[in-house]
Structures are given as structure tokens and as C-alpha cells.
Structure 1
Amino acid sequence: MITAADQKPVTVSEYLNALNASLREFHARIGGEISQLKHADSGHVYFSIKDKNDGSVLRCAMWQRTYAICGVELKEGLEVVVAGAANIYKPRGEFTFIARTVELAGAGAFERAYQELKKKLEDEGLFAEERKRPIPAFPRAIGVITSRGGEVIHDFEANLGKHGFKIKFVHSAVEGQEAALPLIRAIGMLKIKSLDALVVMRGGGSLESFQAFNNETVVRSIASFPAPVLTALGHHRDLPLAALVSDMNVSTPTAAAHALSRSSDELAHHLLRYKEHIVNRYAMEIALRRSEFERSFIAIPQRFQAILAGSAHILEVTSFAPQKFQILMDRARQTIDLLHRTIMLNNPERQFRLGFSITRQGGRVIKSVRTITKAEPLTTHFSDGVVGSAVKEINVKNVVPAKVGTQDVRSLGRAQG
């Protein structure tokens, strides 16, 4: 028999490590009243929760990051439910319950907290319709946050359709207040991605199971997300605040999938209708062209007969072409002969040979003695040479023209004067 004296002793550190290993596995939800509340400069919060029945006290701590996103402002005397696991702080041997989440307890606690936060966010304008962005008609890259287990993700993908969507999925717990931190982390991971839309969804459940979606930090993370956010968070009378702040909320994951794929489905439907229209129009055109071809085929013999008749007329006309051409040539030859005789009769050389001459003064042909001056010599052209002469005397005859115009009468009057 092995007695305690026979056991090898362990160090204090080893013993506390063993205790802490066991305590970390013992998660619990504990209700009580807050007392001895202290906010450290580091942001950590230290407090105790007291059992109102017998006054039992449990020291608790909540680290800065956890408290910042817990969604509850701790106050003395506040009834709460904390969830977490205990730990022994080795340097001082202190037993402390490390709270991971904190919820309000007592009748109407959830409703009061919900309404207070809702009014606060509403006063900031986070629920205003004018700040809501439209979900893109044809999103390509879609972020999805939900639990990996269950039917939610499968229903969503099954109803999304095969439209070439690129899904960036991030797993997160979605049940209860404990899901707030995983949700915040998941939203933060997808913020740095280039997305056309974000979908945050979960299945149905009690109002308490949706508490993470009433967490202020979760709500603000959704409000500040760079892409439009679509939530599928049930159809409770009091919608989770995350649903109110999102750009669009639907009741189920299936409805979310339809909202994203609706435009693509409609486009596919329109394309199918256009295809049918094109096929029908093409069939009509083929029928029309076939009918025209058949009519043309019937008309070919008639047109051939018309061509033959036209050919006979052409042959008849062309048979007289040489005679008509000869007649035209004879007429042209006669016209040319007449022009030749006219030119020869009016040739100045011929006139010279008949005894005529041409007199010029200053390069001008003299037609009247009235145009002659004594200042320049005259040049007279004969058939066999040229004679130059000086003007000594000019005698003008007063000859009345056969037809006297107004201008001629004035000229005659000046000459007589």
C-alpha cells in the first residue's frame, strides 16, 4: 500500500499548473450581483459577484479587450450572468474567475439593454435609410460569415445558383453572447478583402441566442464595413441591431441567396427570351427567303421569254446600224466641206490677192478715218508686202448710215458742228 509519505512531493508551481489545467476545462455560467468593481488603468476590470442568498463572493476579472466588446457597462449592484473559467494567479495564489462574456440578468434585462442601445445608435443615425447602400445587382466577390456546421451555409450555397460568384467564407460562432468576439474577428478579417458584398447569417433560435448580434461592437463593425452588408437574422418582432444597421436584412439564408442572385437569374431569363426571339426571327427570315426564291424560280421562264423578245429587237435594230452610220458620216462630211469653203472665202490672204489691203495704226486695224491721228504712221498690208506712210491730211465724209440710232445721231451732230 502506497501512503502519502511514499509519494514524491511536487512544487507549488507544479501543483498550481495542474489545478489551472483542470480549471480551464471547467467552463461555467454564474449569476450574481456585482460588487467591489474596479477599473484598472490598463483597461482590465476587476469585480466580485455576490450570491444574494447566502452572501458568497467570487472574485472575477475581465480583460480589456473582452470588456470593450462585451456590450454591457458594469455597475455596482448590477445583476449579471458571467461565463468563463477560473484561474489561480500563481504569484499571489489568488483564485479568480476569468469572465469571457457578461450578460444582464433579471426580469426584462435583455429588453432594457436592447432598447437603450437601440436608442443610442438610432440617435447617431446608424439606422437611417439614407445611409443604406444598395446591394450590387451583379456581385462577384461575396464575403460570408456564419457557422461552418449546420444547414445554413448549405442552404445558402444551394440557392445561390451557378453564376460564377467568388465566395470568401469565414467561420464564426453565431450562438449566444459568446459569439460576439468571433464575429468581430471574422468581420475584421473580411474588411481587408476586396468584396462586392458581405453576408452575415445564422439560422433561427430564441431571442437570447441572438445576443451577439445586439453587441455594440458587432453592430458598429457592420455599420463601418466598406462593402454593402446583407444580413439574414430571422424575423423576430425585435430584430437584432445588426439587422437594423445592415444595408439589407432578410429572414433566411435562402432569401439572402435569392437577393444576391436575383439579377443574374433575371438576366439569364432575358437572355433565354432573346435567344428564342432570335431563333424565331431567323426561322421567319428563312421561310420568307424560301418563298421569294420559289416565286423567283417560277418567274424565270417568263423573264427568259422577255429576254428573248428583247434580243430579237436588238438584232433588228443593229441590222440597220451600218446604213444609219453611213448616213451620219455623209452628213458630217458635207458639213465639214461647207465649213472649209466658208473659211477659204474669208481667208485674208485670198482678200489680199483680190486687191484688198489692211491698214493699221498703233497695232489697231483702221475701220474709219475718224480713228486716225497724225501723230503715228500708218502700216498697210498687201498680198505681197507692207507699206508704211505718214498722215498729212484727214478728210471725213459726212455719210448718214442706212439705220441711225440715237448714239449715231449725236455723233453726226458733233461732226457737223
Structure 2
Amino acid sequence: MFSSSGNSSIPETAFSITAITSYIKNLLETNELLQLVWVVGEVSSLNPHRNGHLYFSLQDSQRGATLNCVVWNRQQSRLTHRPELGKKVVVLGSLQLYPQQGKYQLSALQVIDAGAGLQQMRLQQLRNRLEAEGLFDPTRKRPLPPHPQTIAVVTSPNGAAWGDIQRTLKQRYPGLRVLLSPATVQGEQAPASIVAAIKRIEKDGRAEVLILARGGGAVEDLASFNDERIIRAVAECKIPVITGLGHERDESLTDLVADICAHTPTAAAAKVVPNLAELYTAHRYRLQRLYDSVENKCEQKRNNLEQLRDRLVRGMQTRLNQETERCRYLGEKLSVLDPQAVLKRGYAVVQLDDGTIVRSIDSVKVGEEVTILLAGGRLRVKVI
């Protein structure tokens, strides 16, 4: 159906520009997939606006498609990376339609350098997920055995790391049993190879601790140790794991999940066993301390015995003096009471023949013989 207005015929179902633009705007801005989307492209134009907003365009270098973008003034301070002409970036934002010009644009919330941005973003997402599972929790970490006798090493048999570990272990703790479970530690085959090497150690069952090592290299060469397969194999390993992945500046996710992180193969080998020479020195020091302690204790006991002996001698001397004085006193008393002493003073003792002492004249009769005891002898007399 058409309606006539002058010389023009307009269909009744025709939309106004505003209506069709509003309809498309609503479809575009309410689509859940487009409300927050990552877009990769090269910055083909850059136009800072006088009101503080930053306008730029992203271009697909292979197919030539272009997308207009804007970073509003209030959002610019939160950007990780500012867009630069010719640079490949990853932009997080939401699609919006600008009705006045009938164009859509990406309202950017974050801009990341695509050189390392995507990889870093995926790494951070993996880290967050594993951390949420508790794989990096310090309470999960197990202590290393203090004096292991069998140590397993997962590394490349052709790398410098294996030689460094052998040399360090031999210098610090000779006589150890060291088991090598060879693995590829770089490239696409590394994750599967390392996981298989760890499984071999667990199946063997002899090792008390495992060293996962790789020599130094570029950060890109160490990317395998951010692989989820290796991380979970280390987390699930039945024996303590110490990593020595040859990089001081960066920490891989495998380092975070390991029981101990030593950064370099040599440092890992040094941490896994004590230094035998240091143990010997410490043992000699403990023996000397024990000897000194026993000697001090014996000296104390000798001093105590000497003091007790002195006290005993003094006590015995005092007691002896007391008893000597008592004996002297008793001797004097005995001397006073001694009948012989009385006789010496001129007295005499009269005895009957049966030895009875005459105490009264009534005890004897006239004509009876008695014995008189004197100091110098005896007299036999007759009572008249």
C-alpha cells in the first residue's frame, strides 16, 4: 500500500532513519556477546580530541576491515597500554552505535599490547583459576626430607642443568643415589615429555624428592612450565618437588605450585641436600659442646664433693672435739668416784670372807676374821 503526498509515493511500512537507527542500536548494544568483547587489530589512526577523549581506529591487517574505537576521558588513566600508530593491540570494550552519523564504534575499557598481551592475559586467567582451586596455597607445600638418600631429577640429559646438578650433589653429599628421568624441556613436546618423566619417577618409587630443572634461557624458552599439564603433574606428585628452572627474574606457574622454588638447577641441588662438610663441622661443634657440658658438670660435682668432704671433716672434727671433751669430763668424774682414789686418801674398805663390805660394826663378830683393803694392799685381821 502506497500513500500519495505530492509527487512522492511512500510505503506505509517504511521506517524513519531515526527509527531504523534506534532499532539497530538496540540490537547491537543489548547483545550479550557484544557487551564486553576482546578485539585484536593494528592501530591505523589516532586522534586525541580536545575534550580529552581518545579516538582511534583498529584495522585487520589481513582483510582490511576497520573498526572505530574511543577511550573516554575518565577511562584513560586505567589503560595498561596507550594505543600507538602501527602497533598491534588487544582492546576490551563494548560496541555502541552513534546515531548522528549512523556509525558504530567500540567503547574501549582496556588496551593491551598484543605482542605479549594475549599470552599474558591467558597466563593470568590460568593463574587465577589454579589459585582459586588452592594449588598455590602455602599449606599444601611439603617440607623436603632432611637427609635424602635417593634423589630423582627430571631434565634434559644433554643440557647443562644435568651436569650442574650432578656436580653440586657430589660436592655437597657424596654417595647419593641420583635417578635421571630424561625429558624434553623446551618446545611443543616439552609438557607431555615432562609429565611422562614425573610419572616414571612416581612409578619407580625409590626417590624421596624430585628436582625439576632446566638451564637458563629466554623467557619464551621457559613457556612450557606455564603449561597446565605440567602444573597439575607437579601438584599431584606423591613426593616433594623442588624446581630449578634457570630464571631469576620471572616465576613460572610451575614454580608457584612446587614445594620449593630454587630458580636455578645448582640452587635446587644445594637446597635438596645438606653440605656434608658443614654437617661434619656442626657435628664436631656439637660433640665439643657436649664434652664441655659434661666436663663442666663433672667439675661442678667435684666441687660439690669437695665442699661436702670439707663439711663432713669439719662436722666430724667438731663431733670428735665434743666427744673428747665429754670423755675428759667423764674421766674426771670417774676419777672422783673411783674407790681406789678414796683409798689413796687414807680410807679403807673392810670385807667379809664372802666379799661383803662391812658397813656397820653389827655386821661382824668378835673373833671373826676380815680383810682390810688399803691403797697399797690388803690386811688380814681378826676382830678382838
Give the TM-score taking structure 1 as reference length. Answer: 0.40
TM-score (norm 2): 0.43
